[in-house]
Amino acid sequence: QRYSVMRAAFDSKSIATFLEGIFSGKEATYPYDKLPAIQSVVPWDGKDAKVETVVDDDDDDILKELGLGGSDEL
């Protein structure tokens, strides 16, 4: 029983190259005794941390840089 870690982009070409390396013996593999046991956990309910929402409606500076923004100040 052996494993190897893929350290590349996760796309079809990179995966194919990785597997070719495994099959040809060019990719390093490492032994392990047994797979770790899969543990069941209680799903996170999200109540212990609130998600902060940032509202950014101030885009006057961007519009002015583009020459599109008029001033709406009094």
C-alpha distances (whole Å) from 19 to each of 26, 33, 73 are 10, 22, 62
Higher pLDDT: 55 or 10? It is 10
Position 50 pLDDT exceeds 90:
no
Query: What's the confidence (pLDDT) of residue 26?
Result: 95
This prediction's pTM: 0.47
Is residue 59 domain-resident?
no
Mean pLDDT throughout 19-27? 96
Is residue 5 domain-resident?
yes
Domain count, the chain: 1
Helix (H) or strand (E) holding 44: none
The b-or-e profile of 5-27 (16+ CB within 10 A means b, else e) is eeeeeeeeeeeebbeebeeeeee
Is residue 12 domain-resident?
yes
Query: What's the confidence (pLDDT) of residue 6?
Result: 96
63: helix, coil or strand? helix
Is residue 43 domain-resident?
no
Mean pLDDT throughout 49-69? 76
Residue 2 structural domain: 1-36
Average pLDDT, the chain: 85
Length of the chain counted residue by residue: 74
Is residue 56 domain-resident?
no
